Each structure stands twice: as structure tokens, then as C-alpha cells.
Amino acid sequence: MTSAFVSAQSLDEALSALAGGARPVAGGTDLVVGARQGKNPLPESIVAIHRVEELRGLATSNGRLRLGALVTHQEIATHPAVRERLTALADASAIVGSHATRAQGTVGGNVMNASPAMELGGPLMVFGAEATLRSASAERRVPLTELLTGPGATSAAEDELLTAVEIPLPPDGSGSCYARLEYRRQMEIAVVGATAAVTLAGGTVEQARLAITALAPTIRLVPEAEEALVGSDAGAEAVQAAARAAARAAEPISDVRASADYRRAMAEVLARRVLTAAVARARGEATAIPASSALFGAAS
Amino acid sequence: MKIPVTLNVNGIAYELELAPSTTLLSAVRDAVGLTGAKEGCDDSECGACMMLLDGKPVNACSYLAAQADGREVTTVEGLADGGSLAPLQRAFLEHGGVQCGFCTPGMLISATALLEASPSPSEDEVRIALSGNLCRCTGYDGIVKAVLEVSRAGT
């Protein structure tokens, strides 16, 4: 039963509440839902952070995009620089929950809830995002790959608040894509998901990243897929080799949504589709955002 | 423990004393007394509880009322202009977009938010936007036609 509630007016006030044992709430789309489902009761002490100005703001400067922790999925999905340069992130934000979830849910909540099926994790990982964590006494930066440690678990301390996520903008000639397998168009989470980011130079793959979603205890990168692609012409053979690597890297579970065998088989399919779409985008071909709708059920 | 919360619902300020864990849905239904928004799944799946918070859609079953303190809440009761139904409400009636009626308040709020963000959506966009609102009567066809008619009428 929640016995203490404070609505922080500043970052300092929020951090001092965390130091006193309070847990943060922003859009409530995970914390309150989890409590209503009976998974986790609401915390004893809550600090609402939705009024904290320092946690807002979506802007690019010095070749980096900074997302304040309170930036909503709706803001991300509709932002021109995200759609143009970090397209996979727009793909992902555009399919979180429903438009109500996207209007209230935040990047900070999505990351710190640390679901292995979170939509934003794959794109943030392939783009090399770093989270800024602040406590009342210190600030540090942690790559997403080190922040996410297990289902619902992060390397952040209890008194640390994710204040922002920063992403280096990819060079020209880059393209990216996130897609998920889904049973429903909205209020859905990934059954299996994959994210690809590639950079082409003169038709050759210069850089490649592939991440898998809902296929392991955390979202994870697949280095073997990257090796299969770099230096190739991004043709069907290299894409297929990378997709097979994604399936090998998967350690899925069986649950009510899908069996482990099905998830592993679909890992290859999703990886192939997002790689193909990322390469097409890197070549300047216009494709719909979110990619998931276009790729859903598509033959390939 | 109770905390003071002021909710501005459909333009009227209500000064309430609420437990911090009270959801916005529960505050509006039980403390304010407006029962248009419904509790369906209580789990943010069905959209029956949808309201607008500062003009943006929210599943009110999954939002703390204390976080809505001082902000503008719009429920289905606030859509009509006095005794005159809003265009979406009239279109729902004309197209038979109402069967049992349980999903209707959420559908109307969801469609209001959609048309605010995207005044001329395609049929596919309407269907996707409303797919966070479940109608167990499966009366989607009339609902979608109603939303499309209002969007065309407005352009």
C-alpha cells in the first residue's frame, strides 16, 4: 500500500526522494499496469517525475540525439530527425501500446522497466545509445548493452534515475529497421522482434548491427551477424547468413505467447526482413514507418 | 494516508482527498461521480476507460489520479456542447456504431484524439488507431464508418 506520494518539481527534488527510498513514476503505463495486474504492488513511497522540466526535451546537437527521460513514444515516432536518421527507433516508438500508451509512456520508463520484449531496446542498442544515470551524489553514463542485465533488471542502483538517453547519429548512407511479430496491431508486445542498422559505402557494407528482441533474457546484439555482413554487398546470401546467426544467438523461452521453437524459427525470419528493409533504406528507398505493419505477413 | 488532488474534469474543478494509489478512473467515477468512462480490463488492454489528459489520450485505469492534479481531464460527458451532441457522437448513432455501449465512451475519446492528431485519416489509420479499444459486440464496421464520416465532413 502506497503511504507516501510526492510530485517532484525539480530534478534535485526527485533525486532526493529516490535517495529516501521512493520509486519513480512517469507515464504509469508499466508501474500502474503491473500493480493492477497484481504482478507487483505499487511501491510504499512514490515520486512522480512528470513535472520535472530537466527530464524533457528531444534535440540533436554535435551529431548526437538527446532524449530526455520524459520524452514520449509519440514525440519520438513523429520527430523528423528520428524518422530520417534513426528510423528503427521511429518504427519501434510508433507501435508501442496504443496511441494512449504512446502519449503517456516515456523512453525512461520503457528502458528502466527492462522488459526483454521492450520495443525501444533493440533500436537503442544497435545505435550505440548511452543512458545517463543520476543520483543525489553522482552522475554516470552507461551503454544500453551494460544497463540491461535481465528480465526487469538493470545495473542502475535504487537511488539512480535515468535522466536521458543519448544516441550518436549514424553517418550518411545508413539505414535501419525494427519490426516485431505480433498477434494484434495495438496494445501488443513483441512475440519476437529484430532490429538492423547498416551503413553502406559504394554498395559495400561498412558497418552493421543486429539486435534480437524477446528472444533472450535481455535484448542482445548478435556480433556474428555483423561479421557476416561487413564487407559484403548486402545481398541475399550475406543477409541469410546474418539471419541464421540471429537464430543461433537466440535463447528463447516458451510461454503463453509462443513456444521456444517457434520463436527461434521466427528469429531468422524477422532478422532477414529487418536487414532487407534496413539495406533498402540505406539505399534511399522510401519505406513506410512503422515497418512492422508493412513487413507483417509479407512474403520474403 | 490521503492527499489533496484537484481534478479539472470537463472544465469543472473538483477538490478531492484521495489515497495516493487511486487511479484516475476510480477518482472520476467514484469521487467525481462521472461514470461514462468504464472499467473493462483494468489492465490497459481494452481502452474502455480512455480519457483525455491535457488533450492527450490516457488509459485512466492505469494512471495515478495524483499525477493529474491541476490538469485538464476530458471524459465522454465533456464531448457534447450542452444539449447538442458532438459530430462524432451523432455519427456513431447514425451508423449504428453503438451496440451494448460499454466500449462507446472509450471509442469516442479515442476517435476524438485521433481526429485531433490526424484530421483526415485513411480507413486503415482509423482501424489501427482504434485497435487499442476493444468492442466485444464486434461492431467495428459502424464505428469506423462514423469516424470516417466525421473526418470527411471536417475537411
Which CATH number fits the domain that encloses residue A148?
A: 3.30.465.10
Does position B102 have pLDDT exceeding 80, yes or no? Answer: yes
Domain boundary among A99, A134, A168: A168
Question: Is A132 in the same domain as A204?
Answer: no
A182 in the same domain as A251: yes
What count of Cα atoms within 13 Å lies in the side-chain half-sphere of residue A257?
Answer: 16
Q: Are residues A186 and A288 in the same domain?
A: yes
pLDDT, position A300: 34
Task: Decide: B20 and A2 in contact? Cβ < 8 Å.
Answer: yes
What is the side-by-side strand order in the sheet with A58-61? A58-61, A64-68, A161-168, A130-134, A139-143
pLDDT digits (tens, 9 = 90+) for B113-124: 999 999 999 999
Q: Give Cα B127 distance to the centre of its chain.
A: 16
For residue A221, what is its C-alpha cell?
546484439
Residues A135 and A67 in one domain: yes
pLDDT tens-digit map of B41-88:
988 889 999 999 999 999 999 999 999 999 999 999 999 998 899 999
Residues A185 and A252 in one domain: yes
Cα A246 from Cα A275, distance rounded (Å): 11
Written as tens digits, the pLDDT of chain A (300 aa) is 788 999 999 999 999 999 999 999 999 888 888 887 777 889 999 999 999 999 999 999 999 999 999 999 999 999 999 999 999 999 999 999 999 999 999 999 999 999 999 999 999 999 999 999 999 999 999 999 999 999 999 999 999 999 999 999 999 999 999 999 988 888 888 999 999 999 999 999 999 999 999 999 999 999 999 999 999 999 999 999 999 999 999 999 999 999 999 999 999 999 999 999 999 999 999 889 999 877 764 433
What pLDDT was estimated at residue A298?
40
pTM score: 0.95
- Note whether B62 contacts A50, CB cutoff 8 Å: no
User: Is residue A299 in a domain?
Assistant: no
What DSSP character marks residue A41? Answer: P
Q: What is the distance in angstroms between the Cα of B114 and the nearest Cα belonging to chain A?
A: 8
State whether A181 and A207 are in the same domain.
yes
Superfamily of domain B3-78: Beta-grasp domain (3.10.20.30)
Q: Is residue A298 part of a domain?
A: no
Number of domains in chain A: 3
Domain that holds residue A19: 4-48
Residue pointed to by grid coordinates 542485465 = A149
Clarify whether residues A108 and A181 are in a common domain: no
Q: Which residue of B has its CA nearest to A5?
A: B20
How many whole angstroms separate alpha carbon A199 and alpha carbon A142?
24
- Write down the pLDDT at residue B154: 67
Q: Which of A36, A46, A74 faces B62 most closely, judged by CB atoms?
A: A36
Instruction: Say yes or no: A181 and A213 in one domain.
Output: yes
Measured between beta carbons, the chain B residues lying within 8 angstroms of A48 are: 64, 66-67
Nearest to A104 among B20, B58, B117 (CB): B58
Which three three-digit cell numbers place residue A127?
Answer: 545505435
Question: Rounded to 5 degrees, what are φ and ψ at A263?
Answer: -60, -40
Q: CATH 1.10.150.120 region(s) of chain B?
A: 87-153
To probe the interface with A, which of B64, B110, B133, B144 has the most A CB atoms within 10 Å? B64
The residues, ordered by sequence, that sit 6+ positions from A167 with a Cβ below 8 Å of its Cβ are A64, A65, A67, A86, A89, A124, A127, A128, A129, A130
- Give the count of Cβ contacts less than 8 A between chain A and B: 99
Same domain, A188 and A160: no
Q: Is A127 helix (H, G, I), strand (E, B) or coil?
A: coil
Q: Are residues A34 and A71 in the same domain?
A: no
Which amino acid is it at B14?
A: Y
Distance of CA A100 to the CA centre of its chain: 18
Within chain B, which residue ranges are assigned CATH 3.10.20.30?
A: 3-78
Class of domain B87-153: mainly alpha
- How many CB atoms within 10 Å of residue A11? 18
One domain for residues A287 and A226 = yes
Q: Using CB atoms, which residue from A5, A42, A293 is nearest to B3? A: A5
| A192 and A210 co-located in one domain | yes
Q: With an 8 Å Cβ cutoff, are A48 and B67 in contact?
A: yes
Q: How far is CA A243 from CA A224, A236, A267, A272, in A?
A: 10, 10, 7, 5
Q: Which of B57, B62, B127 sits opposite A103 (nearest CB)?
A: B57
pLDDT at B3: 95
The span from the CA of A214 to the CA of B47, in Å, is 25
- The verdict on a CB contact (< 8 Å) between B113 and A99 is yes
Residue A269 sits in a domain whose CATH number is 3.30.390.50
